[in-house]
Structure 1
């Protein structure tokens, strides 16, 4: 992950880069597996695993240096064709940033059997203040 991105959610999910990289701007593909359940003592369902990973499209395919820019997803839509099988979810994502602080991240989610959902995130893009805040 890019410098400064660590802990919390990133450590709660196991990541394996396939194409591109979380520390390199541009489109990327990863396999991801949540390491912890959403509810203590409860095995995550396929849909819980899917939505946990679907929320990462903009981070995986970041377009701008995250040390200098915020790109917060203000909305996430996932269209599911089937429930995933297995623990690992594939995420193939592209982020595009336009004028006036507006961006989108789109993704195809899959398991070992093939595509199962598409994701779309609306992004609010703003420069970080000096000092990282």
Structure 2
């Protein structure tokens, strides 16, 4: 039975945020965090933003910047009070490696490692080969997102650039929810909290036909992103043996800002597999 003190707030008491701070590094999820595959889990998108915020706030240095974060998902993320700890694995003057651990109910649920690299003025050699997305002005509401259940999906607005199809789509994503109630989130965290949405915006099959959750999320940045809008230029690939890959070029309102990759496990829903075997 879920402890009422750690369960998400009821609809009437839900703030316009994904998380409520309880203590340093400890947060209570709201119903806006509710996942799409199970109603008792957290969606990966907001919790990855929360972990990113804790990474960004760990011994912050103006001369360093986060370049890559890899989130390893070790199990279902319960919709309960969440604790994040961060340590410096590899300290350095120009290169650092940080590790964050998310625990819920005494269990380790996510491990995330972030490379933090030195800030240098490289404008004289700047060159961007990542493709820029069309702006959001002509994008239209993506109705297929309504097939996904859960509080997180209800909290975001997804608008698609014309010309998309199953397996390939460009969308702009935003949310009216803050990451943390009463706290100004780091810009990179406010942006990252929407990136995992990519696995639901260009699906090759309907989410009622097959399961295809991601077991990790890896994000590379080429500069600090502007969280005003999150642009996802996404391709989804299913292999022949149950492996999948969701790949996205990340954009913000200023242009390309990085890449994201999500490793998928593609499989039948357990009950449907048993039914098929009995026929």
For residues 69 and 20 of structure 1, the distance between their equivalents in structure 2, rounded to whole angstroms, comes to 25
1:32-71 pair list within 5 angstroms: 32-71=173-212
**Native 8 Å contact 2:191 2:225 kept in 1:** yes
| CA gap 1:51/1:2 in 2 versus in 1, 3 angstroms | closer
For residues 54 and 10 of structure 1, the distance between their equivalents in structure 2, rounded to whole angstroms, comes to 13
Does residue 96 in structure 1 map to residue 237 in structure 2? yes
Does residue 12 in structure 1 map to residue 148 in structure 2? no
Quote how far apart the aligned CAs of 1:26 are: 1.9
Structure 1 window deviating more from structure 2 (57-66 vs 67-76): it is 57-66
For residues 261 and 149 of structure 2, the distance between their equivalents in structure 1, rounded to whole angstroms, comes to 24
> 5+ unaligned residues in a row in structure 2: which ranges?
1-143, 273-279
Higher strand share: 1
TM-score by length of 2: 0.43
Residue in structure 1 matched with residue 259 of structure 2 by the alignment = 118
CA RMSD of aligned residues (A): 1.8
Quote how far apart the aligned CAs of 1:77 are: 0.3
> 5+ unaligned residues in a row in structure 1: which ranges?
none
Residue in structure 2 matched with residue 75 of structure 1 by the alignment = 216
For residues 55 and 99 of structure 1, the distance between their equivalents in structure 2, rounded to whole angstroms, comes to 24
SS at match of 1:122: strand
For residues 3 and 52 of structure 1, the distance between their equivalents in structure 2, rounded to whole angstroms, comes to 19
Quote how far apart the aligned CAs of 1:2 are: 5.0
Task: Give deviations 1:85-133, integer Å, cap 9, x for gaps.
Answer: 2511111100100022100010011112110010000000111234xxx
Report which of the two structures shows the higher radius of gyration computed on alpha carbons. Answer: 2
For residues 104 and 45 of structure 1, the distance between their equivalents in structure 2, rounded to whole angstroms, comes to 28
Task: Give deviations 1:35-77, integer Å, cap 9, x for gaps.
Answer: 2122112234321232122112221111122111111010100
Number of aligned positions between the proteins: 128
| CA gap 1:17/1:55 in 2 versus in 1, 3 angstroms | same
For residues 73 and 51 of structure 1, the distance between their equivalents in structure 2, rounded to whole angstroms, comes to 16
SS at match of 1:108: strand
Of the two structures, which has the highest relative contact order with CA contacts closer than 8 Å and spacing of 6 or more?
1
